[in-house]
């Protein structure tokens, strides 16, 4: 049996330590280590260094836990707990010096698959602002001591965030969905870090967020924030968030937004 409250302090401590490293490396100057799916899909040396710090600290504190991270090989869990980690979410923002990126750390039980996992702990930390969003399953979503709640839009319409993948061939479909989202949106935001977009939905700073092409580490922690703030997560025909689509909003808006996105 996993006791989420025991996992939260560890996740918070590691997120702060990882965030401090990311911020320090940013101030020293960022170098691109490699490109991945396309030339625009970059990984910095800091991405790799921060993920290694998180991985080492988790292994020291909880040997046998699994690991699923953006920049290193997956490790199967022997304890039932798997950590799903994006060391620097919003990598392009980070490389350009835009202070909108996050360390995203989630602990899940069961298979590390969003279709079936039980998210136990989620932490999303923006080292540039110091904001640290966190949630435990059944324990609510928080920003510091402030309890978070999703928002239903007012008469002017919904403030909706989205994002675009790195493959130019997918842009036309993405833009078609944005056009349809304007049927219920007052405006669109594209800030460049999925975990923070999800945290902002949980905090009521956004009414909704949708994006195609996300990986588990992009949405694992932020998705728990949304659920614990009274929101709904999904996007795929199987009801889970994932590569096909990730959608987050308050329940009523979720249904309306899903209808226009999938039309």
Q: Which residues bind ligand LIP (CB under 6 A)?
A: 70, 86, 89-91, 163-166, 192-194, 211, 218
Of the pair 19, 192, the CB lying nearest ligand LIP is at: 192
Of the pair 58, 124, the CB lying nearest ligand LIP is at: 124
Q: How many CB atoms lie within 10 A of CB 29?
A: 8
3-state secondary structure of 199: helix
Of the pair 109, 222, the CB lying nearest ligand LIP is at: 222
34, 36, 41, 47 alpha-carbon torsion, rounded to 10°: -50
3-state secondary structure of 87: strand
In whole angstroms, the minimum distance from the beta carbon of 1 to ligand LIP comes to 32
Structure tokens at 110: 């069961």
Of the pair 69, 109, the CB lying nearest ligand LIP is at: 69
Distances (CA, A) of 33 to 30, 49, 71, 165: 9, 11, 11, 20
Residue least distant from ligand LIP (Cβ): 163
In whole angstroms, the minimum distance from the beta carbon of 194 to ligand LIP comes to 3
Backbone angles phi and psi of 144, in degrees to 5: 60, -125
In whole angstroms, the minimum distance from the beta carbon of 171 to ligand LIP comes to 11
In whole angstroms, the minimum distance from the beta carbon of 5 to ligand LIP comes to 28
């Amino acid at each position: 049996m996993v006791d989420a409250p025991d996992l939260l302090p560890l996740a918070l401590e590691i997120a702060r330590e990882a965030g401090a490293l990311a911020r320090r490396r940013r101030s020293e100057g960022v170098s691109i280590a490699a490109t991945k799916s396309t030339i625009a899909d970059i990984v910095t040396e800091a991405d790799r260094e921060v993920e290694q710090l998180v991985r080492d600290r988790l292994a020291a504190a909880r040997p046998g836990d699994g690991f699923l991270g953006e920049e290193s090989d997956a490790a199967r869990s022997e304890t039932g707990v798997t950590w799903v980690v994006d060391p620097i979410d919003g990598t392009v923002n980070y490389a350009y010096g835009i202070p909108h990126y996050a360390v995203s750390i989630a602990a899940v039980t069961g298979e590390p698959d969003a279709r079936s996992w039980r998210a136990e702990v989620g932490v999303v930390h923006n080292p540039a602002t110091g904001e640290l969003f966190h949630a435990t399953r059944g324990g609510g979503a928080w920003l510091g001591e402030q309890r978070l709640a999703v928002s239903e839009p007012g008469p002017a319409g919904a403030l909706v965030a989205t994002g675009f993948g790195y493959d130019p061939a997918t842009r036309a479909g993405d833009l078609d969905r944005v056009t349809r989202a304007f049927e219920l949106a007052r405006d669109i935001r594209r800030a460049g870090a999925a975990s923070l977009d999800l945290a902002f939905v949980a905090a009521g700073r956004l009414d909704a967020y949708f994006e195609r092409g996300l990986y588990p580490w992009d949405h694992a922690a932020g998705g728990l924030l949304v659920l614990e703030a009274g929101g709904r997560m999904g996007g795929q025909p199987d009801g889970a968030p994932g590569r096909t689509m990730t959608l987050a909003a308050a329940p009523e808006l979720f249904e309306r937004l899903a209808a226009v996105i999938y039309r």
